[in-house]
């Protein structure tokens, strides 16, 4: 029997490739160089399944070139890289990896929050440069307190809730805003209070954006929203580039309209708005929210299980459509 053909669009863990190779004819981009759309289309020719990342854009034009494709299995919880209605029209299943990366992404979100609040990257650079000449200074690197502060979370899905849970150790007051309000029992469990967006922006010391990207959340945080924040507040985005208007945030950070920002995602990644680069009050990481070794193994295995299920005629554990 002819084995089904699958494409793994980026370099992933060899043990997952090996396991998939027992069932399928696997082409693996072990070199890990992101492919341009035309290259991706070329590699997808004759493939029944694709295991992909958020960098691979599956739009109508690409899907039209993939008549054999049955499943796109994203190695990610987000799937804004895929035109899901177009895939559905063509009978292509789309799957993702929800749940398995919540805690790891919440940990990174907190790392950014704490690094921005206590100016960790700036202080680290200061020590490395050899600028630390006097052992202790009462006014050295004064930052923001995290404990007993107000945390505002915009987007209270699984990851937003994992961010909220971590706040209890810091005795924080937690506000959240979400498309739909949580059940009362969940609000109690998370010790989080619903607030409309304006109130959340005005009262929070830390505003964490955890909303997925869609046309509806494009520039959800722009100049008008930043203007509502406290001058001492810190904005954290580890959700998706484009949910925050980078140009507006650069302006606000430059003018010190807010105290700082922690960013893991950017509009047009891997390009970063050059305005951020000479600002000290922003700490940045290169889209590594879920990047712990253990979590990436589980994400790859989850994506492999989703793709395998569809290609073997079963319902995938994590369907998007």
The yes or no reply on residue 20 touching ligand GLV (CB under 6 A) is no
**Among the residue ranges 74-82, 129-137, 139-147, 173-181, the one whose residues contact ligand GLV (CB under 6 A):** 74-82
Contact region with ligand GLV (CB under 6 A), list: 73-81, 123-131, 178-186, 250-258: 73-81
Q: Report, in Å, the least distance between residue 318 CB and ligand GLV.
A: 12
CA-closest candidate to residue 99, choices 161, 167, 141:
161
Sign of CA dihedral 144, 248, 236, 225: positive
Candidates 56-64, 70-78, 163-171, 172-180: pick the segment binding ligand GLV (CB under 6 A): 70-78
Q: By C-beta, is 226 or 299 nearer to ligand GLV?
A: 299
Compute the distance between CA of residue 138 and CA of residue 268 in angstroms, rounded to an integer: 41
- Active site annotation includes 225: no
Contact segment (CB under 6 A) with ligand GLV among 72-80, 84-92, 227-235, 253-261 equals 72-80
Residue 238 contacts ligand GLV per CB under 6 A? no
Task: Establish if 54 lies at the interface with ligand GLV (CB under 6 A).
Answer: yes
243 binds ligand GLV (CB under 6 A): no
Q: From the list 95, 290, 306, 308, which residue makes contact with ligand GLV (rule: CB under 6 A)? A: 290
Which of 256, 244, 255, 229 minimizes the C-alpha distance to 284? 244
Residue among 49, 78, 260, 316 that touches ligand GLV (CB under 6 A)? 78
- 210 is a contact residue toward ligand GLV (CB under 6 A): no
Which residue number, 29 or 204, has a Cβ lying nearer to ligand GLV? 29
Tell me the CB-side half-sphere exposure of residue 188, using CA atoms within 13 A.
3
77 counts as binding ligand GLV under rule CB under 6 A: yes
As a whole number of angstroms, the distance between CA 268 and CA 270 comes to: 6
CB of 78 to ligand GLV, least distance (A): 3
Q: Which of 66, 69, 71, 76 binds ligand GLV (CB under 6 A)?
A: 76
Residue with tokens 């712990």: 292
User: Residue 108, interface with ligand GLV (CB under 6 A)?
Assistant: no
> How far is Cα 77 from Cα 82, in angstroms, rounded to an integer?
12
Residues within window 83-102 making contact with ligand GLV, judged by CB under 6 A: 101
Minimum separation from the CB atom of position 60 to ligand GLV (A): 21
Which residues are bridge partners to 28 per DSSP?
8
- Whether residue 287 lies in the annotated active site: yes
Q: Does 253 bind ligand GLV (CB under 6 A)?
A: no
269 is catalytic: yes
Query: Residues in the site for ligand GLV, rule: CB under 6 A?
Result: 54, 76-78, 101, 289-290
């Amino acid at each position: 029997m002819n084995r089904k053909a699958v494409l793994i669009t980026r370099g992933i863990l060899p043990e997952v490739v090996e396991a998939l190779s027992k069932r399928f004819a696997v082409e693996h981009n072990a070199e890990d160089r992101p492919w341009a759309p035309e290259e991706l289309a070329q590699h997808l020719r004759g493939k029944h399944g694709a295991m992909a990342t958020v960098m691979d854009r599956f739009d109508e034009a690409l899907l039209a070139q993939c008549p054999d494709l049955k499943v796109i299995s994203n190695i990610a919880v987000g799937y804004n890289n895929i035109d899901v209605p177009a895939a559905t029209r063509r009978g292509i299943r789309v799957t993702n990896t929800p749940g398995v990366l919540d805690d790891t992404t919440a940990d990174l979100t907190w790392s950014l929050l704490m690094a921005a609040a206590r100016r960790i990257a700036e202080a680290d650079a200061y020590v490395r440069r050899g600028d630390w000449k006097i052992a202790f200074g009462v006014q050295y690197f004064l930052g923001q307190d995290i404990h007993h502060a107000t945390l505002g979370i915009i987007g209270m899905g699984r990851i937003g809730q994992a961010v909220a849970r971590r706040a209890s150790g810091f005795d924080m007051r937690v506000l959240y805003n979400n498309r739909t309000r949580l059940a009362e029992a969940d609000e109690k469990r998370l010790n989080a209070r619903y607030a409309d967006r304006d109130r959340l922006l005005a009262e929070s010391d830390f505003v964490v954006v955890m909303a997925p990207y869609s046309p509806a959340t494009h520039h959800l945080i722009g100049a008008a929203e930043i203007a509502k924040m406290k001058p001492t507040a810190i904005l954290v985005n580890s959700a998706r580039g484009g949910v925050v208007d980078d140009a507006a945030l650069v302006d606000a950070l430059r003018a010190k309209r807010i105290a700082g920002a922690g960013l893991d995602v950017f509009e047009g990644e891997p390009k970063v708005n050059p305005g951020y680069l000479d600002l000290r009050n922003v700490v940045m990481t290169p889209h590594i929210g879920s990047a712990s070794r253990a979590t990436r193994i589980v994400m790859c295995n989850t994506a492999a299980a989703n793709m395998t299920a569809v290609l073997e005629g079963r319902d995938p554990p994590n369907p998007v459509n």
